[in-house]
Structure 1
Amino acid sequence: MSWTPGDGPLRIALLTYSTKARGGVVATLCLAEALARAGHRVDVWTLARGGDGAFFRPVDAGVTVRAVPFPDRAGESVGDRVLRSIEVLGAAFGDHHSAAGGDDATGGYDVIHAQDCISANAVPDCVRTVHHLDAFTTPELVTCHERALRRPFAHVCVSAAVAVELAAGWGIEAHVIPNGVESARFAAAAGPAAAGARARWRGRLGRYVLAVGGIEPRKGTVDLVEAMSLLRDRLPAGEPAPALVVAGGETLFDYRDYRARVLARAAELGVEPVLLGPVDHAELPSLVAAAAVFAFPSVKEGFGLAALEALAAGVPVVASDLPVLREVFAGAVSFADGPAELAAALAASLTAPDPGRRAAGDSLAARHSWDAAAAAHAELYRGLLAQRRPAVSPTGP
């Protein structure tokens, strides 16, 4: 029987660099599960760092997880860790792919789709999702980033703004496929059945402004600390300032120096952030839904999945005024540029939330489904296969 791109389910490998709850990892798992629901055969490859045996959350049984052990090494530099990550993931994937039939459509993968710089360096002949473009200074990361853009034969961006950056800086044309969001999961956390879970967070933390993603330069944490200091004078007389709560933060890269500077500045300003670290997957929606405001002061983003989750939970969002966030969130969030504007927007959201933005946020979250994202990916994969692999028959070409 002749093989054509439209026949049967696709055999897809999605690759990510970590098992931790980072935005790109969350997106990889949600996409994998949606592709599996559509009938495709999906493997997710990842590096299991530091003794991890699984992802940060359970993965649907329809998805095969291939976690490659990646033990920590004391004193290893960021650059060396990046190079070892590429080597270990590439070796494990290469061994499996060769044993399964390599490029033969009946034994290997139809599509190899890398979701980040490390995995795009580790595997050959792949599709690459560029979630956002970074500016690194570590030499190994600079090389990794550049090669991970140049080597793939096709590219996906999760927003048009990043696709424009990719075209302008590298001459690469990308397919734009927005992320989805688990809107029902976060909406349920705002509903009556989850009132107890929200009350537990508020009992522990009081009234709070929430940021997710840890303390790192890309997340604009220092601006948020400055804004929280200014916020105290923008609230009505006698109204206590909310706490600043920061969740998440597991990453491959070393931001200890930045974290130390941010915490030192917070101490100077009398801001005492509550650092939760990674939050259990089952607890995250109620943490988000219990927040008074969700702060998203990033200086660089590719889409803004965490902000979309907050909108799904009915929480007002204050975001940096970036082109990509204007593209995704216009009309649904408050935009601010710099600490003073952040403070003003936070104060407005705390004292007089805009019902129009709430309705726009609900609508926006409802329009972004992972099933729609998976369908768009499958259509792209079939189109690429049609271009790259002609039909064959048992009697030859």
Structure 2
Amino acid sequence: MRPLRVAILTHSTNPRGGVAHCLALAEALCALGHEAVVHAPDPDGNGFFRSAACPTVPVAARTITDKAAAGTTAERVRARINDYLRHFASPAACDFDVFHAHDGIGGNALATLRHRRLIPGFVRTVHHVDSFADPLLAEWQDRSIREAKRLLCVSRVWADWIRDDLGTEADIVGNGVDLSVYRPEPARTDAGIRERWGLGPGPIVLAVGGFEERKNTAGIIAAFARFRERHPAAQLVVAGGASLLDHAPYRARCRAALAAAGLALGPGAAVIETGPVPQGDMPGLYRIADMLAFPSWKEGFGLCVLEAMASGTPVIVSRLAPFTEYLAPCDALFVDPAESGDIADAMDAATMPERRSRLRAAGLARAAAHSWRACAERHLPAYAACARPRQEPIHA
């Protein structure tokens, strides 16, 4: 296959699973001899959350000046679509062989560019499908999928959804983990991370994704309240949470649940909310944690599961796809996400030395089976099918 120039579009420069996937995929594609360039709207001008061994383009993004409009998700999404349309407005900016969107924002921008005959078509990865009450957001999400030339998914559950609901096929590309970054061996910086957030002897329960409904943060809090009755020194760390969507009502619900359970929030308290964590600190945070609690309601794949496993940390996941697709029963502690007692019992099990040892060994083996190189190679047939012929002119 000839070397390709690939424009990869994601929705944000912040540390979200889809953004991490794009950067790692691009790095692996570059290692295979292609030129993969990751683009994302960058309203703050801070660039991507980590440096990358691939080209990146923080796309100039306008700030919404209308305060009322700025508060709506639809207007924020519209603004980011328009940011992309401005960036790719010229034929020179569209000088790529393949265009690959990872969300509805990039997908809508590329669909419009295709109608303007600036690009021949695009690949769309569907990580997961959201349920939007706003009909405009639902329409944009649908358009970004239906107008793609080729569809990819990171798990079978969403490929099946596309087949059943849209009547088309999607290839499964999976996910990967960088074993040179996420390692079980302690690092000198781990102690500083523990001190920064006031983490005591534990047990430490880590939840990744912030206060978000599909992450089941309220269920984690209810389970942790039970768990802490048995382990009074336990602490819950809620990491991440940067999102374009509005999770404020759910976050308020979670805070009310913390108050009702008598769980203080803050550094050194029972519950610590970190916000986005610097990339260099994440491997250490996984290692410090006694477990990752990730009983989500809806996931595309759950990249942090592989990251925790590669760090030697036991994982609690929902007894739902996609987790049941790529994890064996012995790899993790599977729970009913609707049962806080079930989640609390799994937290207990994760502290038992013999069980921890088995989970650690199984998790390390499972993580080692997921490489970004293999993930990148699974993209190549879709890229070949959508690549712009070299002799094809770019229409003005």
**TM-score tier after normalising by the smaller chain length:** 0.7 to 0.9
Q: Which amino acid aligns with 2:49?
A: F
8 Å CA contact 2:100, 2:122 repeated in 1: yes
Structure 2 residue 161 is the aligned partner of structure 1 residue 165? yes
Q: CA deviation at 1:345?
A: 0.4
Question: Counterpart of 1:3?
Answer: none
1:286-365 matches, within 5 Å, as 286-330=284-328, 331-337=330-336, 338-352=339-353, 353-365=355-367
Q: CA deviation at 1:383?
A: 4.1
Q: CA deviation at 1:32?
A: 0.8
Alpha-carbon distance between aligned partners in 2 of 1:199 and 1:87, rounded to the nearest angstrom: 44
8 Å CA contact 2:61, 2:80 repeated in 1: no
Question: Counterpart of 2:118?
Answer: none
Question: Counterpart of 1:58?
Answer: 51
Of the structure 1 ranges 68-77 and 158-167, higher mean CA displacement relative to structure 2 is found in 68-77
Question: Counterpart of 1:373?
Answer: 375
Change (3 A) 1:83 1:384: closer
Name which of 103, 123, 129 aligns with 1:116.
103
Of the structure 1 ranges 224-233 and 260-269, higher mean CA displacement relative to structure 2 is found in 224-233
8 Å CA contact 2:177, 2:371 repeated in 1: yes
Structure 2 residue 232 is the aligned partner of structure 1 residue 230? no
1:1-397 matches, within 5 Å, as 6=1, 8-49=2-43, 51-60=44-53, 62-73=54-65, 74-75=67-68, 76=70, 77-95=72-90, 98-99=91-92, 108-123=95-110, 124=114, 125-187=121-183, 190-192=184-186, 194=187, 196-203=188-195, 204-206=198-200, 207=202, 208-233=204-229, 235=230, 239-272=231-264, 273-330=271-328, 331-337=330-336, 338-352=339-353, 353-385=355-387
Give the gaps of 5 or more residues in structure 1.
1-5, 103-107
Q: CA deviation at 1:241?
A: 4.3
Q: Which amino acid aligns with 2:295?
A: P
Q: Deviations over 1:341-364 (max 9, x none)?
A: 100001110234343322221111
8 Å CA contact 2:149, 2:386 repeated in 1: no
Q: Which amino acid aligns with 1:44?
A: V
Alpha-carbon distance between aligned partners in 1 of 2:213 and 2:168, rounded to the nearest angstrom: 26
Q: CA deviation at 1:384?
A: 4.3
Q: CA deviation at 1:253?
A: 0.9
8 Å CA contact 1:228, 1:271 repeated in 2: no
8 Å CA contact 1:113, 1:127 repeated in 2: yes
Q: Which amino acid aligns with 2:29?
A: L
Alpha-carbon distance between aligned partners in 2 of 1:72 and 1:184, rounded to the nearest angstrom: 40
Alpha-carbon distance between aligned partners in 2 of 1:231 and 1:172, rounded to the nearest angstrom: 45
Identity of matched residues, %: 39
8 Å CA contact 2:41, 2:80 repeated in 1: yes
8 Å CA contact 1:184, 1:312 repeated in 2: no
Alpha-carbon distance between aligned partners in 2 of 1:345 and 1:315, rounded to the nearest angstrom: 14
Q: CA deviation at 1:68?
A: 2.5
Alpha-carbon distance between aligned partners in 1 of 2:281 and 2:180, rounded to the nearest angstrom: 15
Alpha-carbon distance between aligned partners in 2 of 1:18 and 1:55, rounded to the nearest angstrom: 8
Give the gaps of 5 or more residues in structure 2.
115-120, 265-270
Change (3 A) 1:270 1:66: closer
Alpha-carbon distance between aligned partners in 2 of 1:332 and 1:134, rounded to the nearest angstrom: 28
Tell me the SS of whatever aligns to 1:326: helix
**TM-score normalized by the length of structure 1:** 0.87
Q: CA deviation at 1:69?
A: 2.6
8 Å CA contact 1:79, 1:139 repeated in 2: no
Q: CA deviation at 1:281?
A: 0.9
8 Å CA contact 2:176, 2:375 repeated in 1: yes
Tell me the SS of whatever aligns to 2:88: helix
